[in-house]
Amino acid sequence: MNSSSPFRKKLAIYFIGFTAALAGLLFGLDIGVISGAEGFIQKDFGIPDRMIELIVSALLWGAVLGALMSSYFSAHFGRRKTILMSAIVFVFGSVACAIAPNEYVLLGARLFLGLAVGMASFTAPLYLSEVSPQAVRGGMISMYQLMITIGIVLAFLSNAWLASYANIGGVVGGHWRWMLGVIAFPAAGMFIGVLFLPESPRWLCLKGLHDRAVGVFRRLHLDDAEIAAEVAEIEDSLKVKQNGFAFFRENALFRKAVYLGIGLQIIQQLTGINVIMYYAPRIFNIAGFTSTLDQMWGTVIVGVTNVLATFIAIAFVDKLGRKPIMYAGFVTMGVAMVVVGVLFNIGVEANKALAFPAIGALLIFIIGFAMSAGPIIWVICSEIYPLAGRDFGVMCSTGTNWVTNAIVGMTFLTMLSTLGNGNTFILYGALNVIFIVVFMLFVPETKGVRLEQIEKHLLSGVPLRKIGR
C-alpha cells in the first residue's frame, strides 16, 4: 500500500537532499573566496607568493585532518551529528579568518576552517548516498556538487562586489576580511536546517536501531514494499561483521575498492580544476586582463559556467550512466587545457587577439569538469564501498582528495615560474587523456544498481570494472 503521493515522496527526498547538500555550499564558498582575497591579503600583509601558496593550501591540509576525524565521528555519533559539528567549526573558523591580525594567525585559522571542509566533504556525500533511493541516488549526490559550484559563484560575486567597493573607497586591506568572514552566516543557517534532518537509515541499522531506520524510510514516504526491500538488503549487508581498518587489512577485495577510490580522487584533482578556482584572477592576468575588476568579474563568469554545467550531470547521471559522461568530460577537459597552454605559449601578452580564445577554452574546460569529474567522482566513491567498511573507504578517498588538492594548491605558482605558463596547462591537459584509459580499465558503471548489490558483486570477487553490472 502506498503511504503517500509521489509528490510528497519527492518533496521529502529533495528537502533532505537539499539541506544536507548545504555542506557543499559552504565547501564551495571556502574554495571560491580565497581567489579574490589573496591579492588583497598579499598587499595588506606584504607577503611573498610562497606564503600565499601556504595560506591557500592550509585550508586543504586542515580538510585532510577533518576527513580523517570524520571517519570516527560519523561511525560513532552518526552522519547527521557530524554535519552539525562541521557547521559549528565553519562558523568559528570563518570568524577567526576575518579577524586575523597577521599572516601566521590567518594560516592557523585557515587550517582550523579546513577541519569543517573535510568533515563536510566526508559526511555529506556519505549521508546522501545512504538516505537516497537508488533511482535518484546519482542526482542527489550530484546536488552536493551543484551546491559546491553555487558556493563558488557566490564567493566570486561577493569578492567582485567587495573588490569594487574597496577600489572606490581606496581601501586595499579591509575588505578581504569581509570576504572570509561572511561564510559564518550560511554556516549558521546550515546548522539550523540540519537539526530537522533524520539520521541515515543505513547507519541506524548498523547500530541495531532498526525501528528508527524504518521510521526514516516512512518519513521519505516509501511504501511498505520499498521499505521491506531496503531493510532486507541492509540487514543482509550487515552480515559482514568486520569494519574499518580490520576489514581493509583482512579483505583483499575491499582493499581493491579502497585503492580505486583513492585513485579516483587523485584523478579529480589532477584534472586541474582547482588551479583555476584558487588562482583565477592570476590566470586572467596571464591572459591579458590586468584590471582587478576585470579579473574579479572574469572569475564570476567562471563560477556561473561551473554552476550551469553541473546541471548536465544532474540531468543525465542516472540516465546515461557515470562512465559515458566521464569519457566526454575527459576529452573536453584535455583538449581545452592543451589549447589554453598553446595560446599562452604563443603569447597572449604580445597578441591581445588571443586573450578571448584562451578564456573561451578555459570556460570549455570548466564545462567539461562540472558535467563529469566534479560530481561523478563523488558519486562513484560513495557507491563502491561495502557498508561495513564504508566509513573507512570514504575517509581514505576523501583524505586523498584533500592531500592532492593541497599539493596542487601549493605548487601551481611554483609550476608557472619553473615550467612556464603554457607548459603548465599542457601538462594538465595531457593528464586528462591518460585518465580515459584508467576509467576504461578499472572503473565500474554503477547506474541504477543498489548499493547492496554493488557490495555483493565486490565481495564475491567480481572484477572492479564489472561490480556495477
Model confidence band, residue 87 (pLDDT cutoffs 50, 70, 90)? very high
Where in the chain are the domains? Answer: 6-197+240-466
Confidence (pLDDT) at 171 = 44
More confident position, 4 or 178: 178
Per-residue pLDDT tens digits for 42-68: 888 999 888 988 998 899 899 888 988
Position 202 pLDDT exceeds 80: yes
11 pLDDT more than 80 = no
Residue 3 confidence (pLDDT) above 50: no
pLDDT of residue 16: 78
The answer to whether residue 27 scores a pLDDT higher than 50 is yes
**Chain-wide mean pLDDT for the chain?**
84
Report CA torsion sign: 420, 421, 426, 428: positive
Per-residue pLDDT at 237: 67
C-alpha cell at 279: 588562482
Using pLDDT thresholds of 50, 70 and 90, give the confidence band for residue 170. Answer: very low
What's the pLDDT at 172? 45
pLDDT at 137: 66
Q: Using CA atoms in the order 279, 281, 285, 287, what is the torsion angle rounded to 10 degrees?
A: 80
Report the CATH fold assignment for 6-197+240-466.
Growth Hormone; Chain: A; (1.20.1250)
The confidence score (pLDDT) of residue 368 equals 94
Residue 460: how many other CB atoms lie within 10 Å: 9
Encode pLDDT of 457-469 as tens digits: 999 999 988 988 7
CA neighbours within 13 Å on the CB side: how many for 95? Answer: 10
Place of cell 532498526: 210
Q: Is the pLDDT of residue 138 over 80?
A: no
Q: Is the predicted pLDDT of residue 308 greater than 70, yes or no? A: yes
pLDDT (0 to 100) of residue 270? 94
> pLDDT value at position 437?
94
Lowest-confidence pick of 86-90, 218-222, 381-385, 448-452:
218-222
Q: Residue 70: pLDDT band by 50, 70, 90 thresholds?
A: confident
Q: Mean of the pLDDT values across residues 379-384? A: 86
What would the mean pLDDT of 131-154 be, rounded to a whole number?
Answer: 75
Of 376, 398, 400, which Cα lies nearest the Cα of 468?
376
Higher pLDDT, 15 or 114: 114
Weakest mean pLDDT among 132-141, 283-292, 433-442: 132-141
With a pLDDT cut of 70, the percent of the chain lying above it is: 92
Q: What angle do CA 193, 196, 201 make, to 5 degrees?
A: 120
- pLDDT classification of 428: cutoffs 50, 70, 90: very high
Least confident of 4-13, 154-163, 222-231: 4-13
Q: How far is CA 79 from CA 12, 105, 115, 200, 425, in A?
A: 18, 31, 16, 7, 38
For residues 211 and 62, what is the distance between their CA atoms, to the nearest angstrom? Answer: 37
Quote the longest CA-to-CA distance of the chain.
Answer: 71
The share of the chain scoring above pLDDT 90, in percent, equals 27
Note the pLDDT of residue 135. 65
Does pLDDT of 206 surpass 50?
yes
Q: Are 222 and 213 in contact (CB under 8 A)?
A: no
pLDDT at residue 7 in the model: 67
Mean pLDDT (whole number) for 111-115: 94
User: What CA–CA distance (Å, rounded) separates 193 from 8?
Assistant: 19
Q: Is the pLDDT of residue 400 over 50?
A: yes
